[in-house]
Structure 1
């Protein structure tokens, strides 16, 4: 069960990192103005920063838990 949850968090982090890569006018600002899914570019960047930090902490927690279960 922990491995499946770890896989889901890994895929989530990959998607978040792919969304964060473009930073210029081609990136979040044009995406936000076209679709309005993430809101303004500054709020979208803040949301991505928070979700990335949460995902990384969660991933480390799962990795430590899996390591302790294997020993």
Structure 2
């Protein structure tokens, strides 16, 4: 199990997951704009959506009392 309360470079893993989620959202929106413009950004859109879904799934895990 991933310990989301562990600190890496001064921030908790949960914060880094939220940063990765924002990056995934940026990638997905860029892919969507490419799809809407000329129809060629499907792979970028899917990669961004997958990053976003993984980050949401990981960051949504509750914190156990014995992990603190």
With the shorter chain as reference, the TM-score category is 0.5 to 0.7
Select the structure that is richer in strand. 2
Equivalent positions of 1:14-53 (< 5 A) are 14-22=22-30, 23=32, 27=33, 29=34, 41-53=41-53
Q: Structure 2 length normalisation: TM-score?
A: 0.58
Secondary structure in 2 matching 1:21:
helix
Runs of at least 5 residues in structure 2 that lack an aligned partner in the other structure: 6-11, 35-39
Q: Structure 1 length normalisation: TM-score?
A: 0.56
Q: How many residues align?
A: 54
Q: CA RMSD in A?
A: 2.7
- Looking at structure 2, the residues matched to 12 and 56 of structure 1 have their Cα atoms a distance apart, in angstroms, of 10
Runs of at least 5 residues in structure 1 that lack an aligned partner in the other structure: 30-39
